[in-house]
Structure 1
Amino acid sequence: MEEPRSVTSLPKAHLHLHFTGSMRPQTLQDMAAKHHIRLPETLREHHLLRLTPDERGWFRFQRLYDAARACVRDADDMRRLVIEAAEDDAAEGSRWLEMQVDPTSYAPHVGGLTPALEIVLDAAREASATTGCEVAIVVAASRTRHPLEARTLARLAAQYAGDGPGTVVGFGLSNDERRGITEEFAGAFRIAKRAGLASVPHSGELLGPDHVRHTLDSLEPDRLGHGVRTGEDPDLLKRVIDHGVALEVCPASNVALGVYHTMKDVPLPDLAAAGATIALGADDPLLFGPRLAAQYQAARDVHAMDDESLADLARGSIEASRAPAGTKQRLNADIDGWLAHMPVADRKG
């Protein structure tokens, strides 16, 4: 019986990775020591999260995320996160990374929002030139802050809008879906849209189809951050597919946050069978554990998806990205090459 091809050598794009959440555990330890910060035991010992899908569970996640973010306190720290994320993605076959960052939390340490974003963009350009993974940036606002702050971030993102590595390619809305009123962020997304940025708000993970409808109506997304619960309503799923809205599905975080009990429960095959464009993502591997290749490995091992199906997932990630046309063409050709080669004896990728 033939062994499957290595998932790490499958060319792919990574469209759902948060800045602080991308951090290596050792990097967090280094930064905490550098800035004389005592980490909570969960972060100190790198215990992976398994939470309840309620506000108490989210509070615990957010508290730990904030503790990790507090260790990123200067330009060198910020640059290190971007470059290491690109190195880790490159090692797992990711050739294009759209990293999501809210510069608000880092601005006080480096002189403001604009310097914070410019540091990240400069590091993205360096990483693109040196790691084998091209990096672009998604600027994200938080649902927990006032919508006027989101407009400020959208205007900032628009100033750096582009269509290649080291530019801003999208505008997002993150944090707890149960917080804030989605419609009130529409103005920020209109600013971003006018600048040519992709609309990539979180929706359809902690909350179900009704929240996705509000997001579609208010923010006109190109992609949904997560969006995995769209499949609970067939009519809504058809609307998403018909309008070409991609889903950034992050199975490991879905289970860690208690949205699904096990990886088997994540409806990845059903979404794919319905024709949804899917981009697998790692979300926050610092807290949830598995990085990008592990999401593909789980699709194979847990959902019995064959190599053709994995290739389709990789193509979906490329199609949904804001990578330049030439990059997309090259990556799709490399996926053809991956399928054409004889499988390797490396089931773990």
Structure 2
Amino acid sequence: MESTARTAREVRRLPKAHLHLHFTGSMRPATLLELADRDGVHLPEALTSGEPPKLRATDERGWFRFQRLYDIARSCLRTPEDIQRLVREAAEEEVRDGSGWLEIQVDPTSYAPRLGGLIPTLEIILDAVHTASRDTGIGMAVVVAANRMKHPLDARTLARLAVRYADSGVVGFGLSNDERRGLARDFDRAFAIAREGGLLAAPHGGELAGPSSVRDCLDDLHAQRVGHGVRAVEDPALLRRLADAGVTCEVCPASNVALGVYEKAEDVPLRVMFEAGVPMALGADDPLLFGSRLAAQYEIAREVHGFGDDELAELARQSVHASRAPQDVRERLLGGIDDWLAAPPGAGESAGAAPGVAPRAARG
């Protein structure tokens, strides 16, 4: 395996798709500080120190603290212009990290009170996505996510809304928040609505709860992708099922450690899942709170888990195959991955965008 600095290729130049990025969690820390100052929002030190907050969400108190920080950050997004800025800056960061396709996940319910309701909110978000995609060259789409802490009827409303915009940039339907609360099957009707409307089913599972939560995602929600899914390694039969069915797990190494799912980066089961044949799409989850974006997840795979460049390229391919990117985008990214692997280490590392990824537009 090629794992040394001398032989390794620059991971930011490896074309890839990003399939697990939450909306508010994609915000730049400097943007949060600016918006909070504008509106007189007091931010706790955990959001102003310049360092990722110390989080451990494996108990209810820790999860509540994580959710409180997220909610405070979200409260600073108050206008359509704020939404436009967040999406544009997220797109710029993605292009910098070599991403050629982004599926950003959002629960529009959380922003609707300030933006005129659910429909206007989703339209503002989709307009921001279309504009950012045009201006930066990265392909972008939206996964609408329900909150498992809310009533399943709310999820059905969101599923119908998501289907309504399936031809306007919504490609999937998710289920987020504390998977230890409630049952996946309570949301089965919402996911049926989404699937019947042509949307990808991508609920969270196997993060804070064990392998049973992944199994529930498969059995009750007919998941085609699973957000996280790492706890599946605790059940070899389930791991084989994921591999055999080709269900992609959106694995977020830095997030897993920050939230206490695993004690250290070495414990995240990237190698186990990879060698078991489970497709993976590395994701950053919430860079605002966890301190690292997409390319850093590939660096973790390389530096901590010994993934060589050929294996990193395969991870990137798996992310593209699991995406809802149009065929032409897929072909361009897959060709760029082959070009990255074929080029000698160090070649073109200062040449800007990754192969197969459109150059980033100048900031205005």
- TM-score relative to the length of structure 1: 0.96
Q: 2:139 aligns with which of 134, 137, 149?
A: 134
Q: Secondary structure at the match of 1:200?
A: strand
Partner of 2:130: 125
Structure 1 residue 155 corresponds to structure 2 residue 157: no
Q: Where do 1:250-329 residues align within 5 Å?
A: 250-329=252-331
Tell me if the contact between 1:86 and 1:134 (Cα under 8 Å) persists in the aligned partners.
no
**How far is 1:326 from its partner?**
1.5
Tell me if the contact between 2:47 and 2:53 (Cα under 8 Å) persists in the aligned partners.
no
Cα distance in structure 2, aligned partners of 1:44 and 1:327: 38
**How far is 1:182 from its partner?**
1.2
Partner of 2:357: none
Q: 1:245 aligns with which of 240, 244, 247?
A: 247
Partner of 1:334: 336
Partner of 2:101: 96
The residue type equivalent to 1:42 in the other structure is A
Q: 2:14 aligns with which of 10, 16, 20?
A: 10
Q: 1:235 aligns with which of 219, 234, 237?
A: 237
Q: Secondary structure at the match of 2:182?
A: coil
Q: Secondary structure at the match of 2:143?
A: strand
Partner of 1:79: 84
Cα distance in structure 2, aligned partners of 1:103 and 1:304: 39
**How far is 1:327 from its partner?**
1.0
Cα distance in structure 2, aligned partners of 1:205 and 1:92: 25
Cα distance in structure 1, aligned partners of 2:230 and 2:345: 30
The residue type equivalent to 2:109 in the other structure is T
- TM-score relative to the length of structure 2: 0.92
Q: Please, which runs of 5 or more residues in structure 1 have no aligned partner?
A: none
Task: Please tell me the root mean square deviation across aligned C-alpha atoms, in Å.
Answer: 1.3
Structure 1 residue 56 corresponds to structure 2 residue 61: yes
**How far is 1:110 from its partner?**
1.3
Offset from partner CA, 1:215-272 (integer Å, 9 cap, x none): 2111000100000111111100111111121000000000000010111110101100
Q: Please, which runs of 5 or more residues in structure 2 have no aligned partner?
A: 355-364
**Which segments of structure 1 move beyond 4 Å, counting only runs of 4 or more?**
none
Cα distance in structure 2, aligned partners of 1:106 and 1:313: 33
Q: How many residues align?
A: 344
**How far is 1:181 from its partner?**
1.8
Q: 2:42 aligns with which of 33, 38, 42?
A: 38
**How far is 1:48 from its partner?**
1.1
Tell me if the contact between 1:158 and 1:197 (Cα under 8 Å) persists in the aligned partners.
yes
Cα distance in structure 2, aligned partners of 1:40 and 1:46: 12
**How far is 1:50 from its partner?**
3.3
Cα distance in structure 2, aligned partners of 1:65 and 1:180: 21
Report percent identity of matched pairs.
60
Partner of 2:204: 202
Offset from partner CA, 1:110-164 (integer Å, 9 cap, x none): 11100100011011111111112111000000011100000000000001103xx
